[in-house]
């Protein structure tokens, strides 16, 4: 419980930004704090319809969790994972996310691969019962990893016989986009949500200025590394400090896996933040570009557009893409360099 409140207070700080200046406005904010999708979520909305919109948003989050959870036995994902290769009728959300996962897998040269789930399980990241698999076991599991063999036809999804999927790499970004859509439908023009530290801003602050969102320092996760000023955008981070264990060999092993070898991705980056209007895209890419590494991430940014990046390398340098110039404030002692088009 103590941890719950500690986390909440961090989130509250994150979300209020300049708490002193907005104190009078905050009085009119309505908020909800929930635990869902294995994480703490804080939602805050302003305006007349805020309460009703927040209630709808919480229901929608619970609905998405019920569909996509890998642990709830009746979810679409559990049904799919037990399907032994037979086609399964799934919810529209589930089919939409799987088709997007395939799209972002293709966009990133296979760095995003939702069929890694058996490998993620083997490392113990789903249960907390951590284990360093040997190379033979990883090779065996990797023989069934291939997102491009998943097929989606409307709301019918078929996995290859021994494949299992997990949408943890992109579900929260999708959820925050869905919350944003509900707020807009309900006439909420100013809101901000944090789903386990992944932030989605709806409109700007009630006073019309941009939201100021902090991004953690991956080398000191209790500390801010930078502040970005945004409106109507998601700020989504994948980092090696978010979920990891220390093995008996003294090394850290984290939850983002490289489909190339089944080991935690170690391609020079310790955190990747993706900023853009499409939360699903930001979440899918934060995980994929963490795997891809700095040069590939920059190339994909140049080629695709529609998002901005903040990358932190394992030798403690920060790189941010050109579109963030004027909206990015480095508050760390690391040097920060711009990635140009």
Name the one range near ligand AMP by CB under 6 A: 34-42, 78-86, 209-217, 249-257. Answer: 249-257
State the Cα–Cα distance between residues 166 and 94, nearest whole angstrom: 11
Residue 166 makes contact with ligand AMP by CB under 6 A: yes
Of positions 116, 163, 169, 201, contacts Mg ion by CB under 5 A: 169
Within 123-142, which residues bind ligand AMP (CB under 6 A)? Answer: 125
CB of 50 to ligand AMP, least distance (A): 28
Identify what 257 binds: ligand AMP, Mg ion, none; CB under 5 to 8 Å per kind: ligand AMP
Alpha-carbon dihedral sign for residues 235, 238, 241, 244: positive
Identify what 125 binds: ligand AMP, Mg ion, none; CB under 5 to 8 Å per kind: ligand AMP
Contact 123, 131 (CB under 8 A): yes
State the Cα–Cα distance between residues 13 and 309, nearest whole angstrom: 23
Two structure tokens written together for 154: 């409307």
Identify what 336 binds: Mg ion, ligand AMP, none; CB under 5 to 8 Å per kind: none
Identify what 259 binds: Mg ion, ligand AMP, none; CB under 5 to 8 Å per kind: ligand AMP
Name the one range near ligand AMP by CB under 6 A: 88-96, 107-115, 224-232, 306-314. Answer: 107-115
State the Cα–Cα distance between residues 201 and 243, nearest whole angstrom: 25
What element of type H or E holds 31?
Answer: strand 30-36
Q: Are strands 220-230 and 328-330 parallel, antiparallel or unpaired?
A: antiparallel
Two structure tokens written together for 201: 């801003």
Of positions 177, 287, 321, 332, contacts Mg ion by CB under 5 A: 287
Orientation angle between helical segments 171-185 and 50-68, nearest 10 degrees:
150
Of positions 69, 81, 286, 321, contacts Mg ion by CB under 5 A: 286
Cα 191 off chain centre by: 19
User: Which one-letter DSSP state was computed for residue 257?
Assistant: B
Q: Which is nearer to ligand AMP, 176 or 190 (CB)?
A: 176
Contact 92, 159 (CB under 8 A): no
Q: Which is nearer to ligand AMP, 59 or 148 (CB)?
A: 148
Rule CB under 5 A: which residues touch Mg ion? 169, 283, 286-287
Rule CB under 6 A: which residues touch ligand AMP? 112-114, 116, 120, 125, 166, 168-169, 238, 255-257, 259, 283, 286-287, 291
């Amino acid at each position: 419980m103590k941890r719950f409140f500690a986390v909440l207070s961090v989130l509250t700080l994150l979300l209020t930004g300049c708490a002193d200046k907005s104190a009078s406005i905050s009085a009119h904010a309505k908020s909800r704090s929930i635990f869902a999708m294995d994480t703490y979520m804080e939602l805050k909305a302003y305006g007349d319809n805020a309460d009703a919109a927040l209630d709808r948003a919480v229901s929608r989050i619970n609905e998405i969790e019920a569909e996509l959870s890998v642990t709830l036995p009746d979810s679409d994902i559990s049904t799919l994972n037990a399907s032994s290769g037979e086609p399964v009728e799934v919810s529209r959300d589930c089919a939409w996310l799987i088709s997007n996962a395939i799209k972002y897998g293709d966009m990133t040269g296979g760095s995003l691969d939702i069929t890694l789930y058996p490998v993620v399980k083997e490392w113990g990241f789903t249960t907390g019962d951590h284990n360093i698999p040997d190379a033979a076991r990883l090779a065996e599991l990797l023989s069934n990893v291939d997102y491009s063999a998943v097929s989606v036809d409307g709301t019918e999804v078929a996995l290859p016989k021994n494949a299992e999927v997990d949408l943890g790499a992109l579900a929260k970004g999708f959820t925050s986009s869905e919350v944003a859509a509900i707020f807009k439908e309900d006439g909420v023009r100013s809101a901000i949500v944090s789903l386990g530290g992944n932030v989605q801003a709806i409109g700007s602050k009630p006073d019309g200025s941009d939201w100021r969102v902090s991004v953690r320092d991956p080398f000191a996760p209790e500390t801010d590394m930078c502040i970005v000023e945004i409106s109507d955008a998601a700020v989504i981070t994948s980092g090696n400090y978010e979920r990891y264990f220390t093995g008996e060999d003294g090394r850290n092993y984290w939850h983002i896996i490289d489909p190339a070898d089944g080991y935690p991705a170690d391609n020079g980056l310790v955190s990747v933040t993706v900023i853009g209007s499409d939360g699903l895209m930001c979440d899918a890419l934060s995980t994929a570009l963490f795997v891809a590494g700095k040069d590939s991430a920059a190339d994909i940014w140049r080629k695709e557009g529609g998002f901005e990046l903040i990358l932190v390398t394992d030798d403690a340098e920060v790189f941010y893409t050109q579109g963030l110039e004027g909206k990015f404030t480095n508050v760390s002692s690391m040097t920060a360099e711009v990635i140009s088009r």
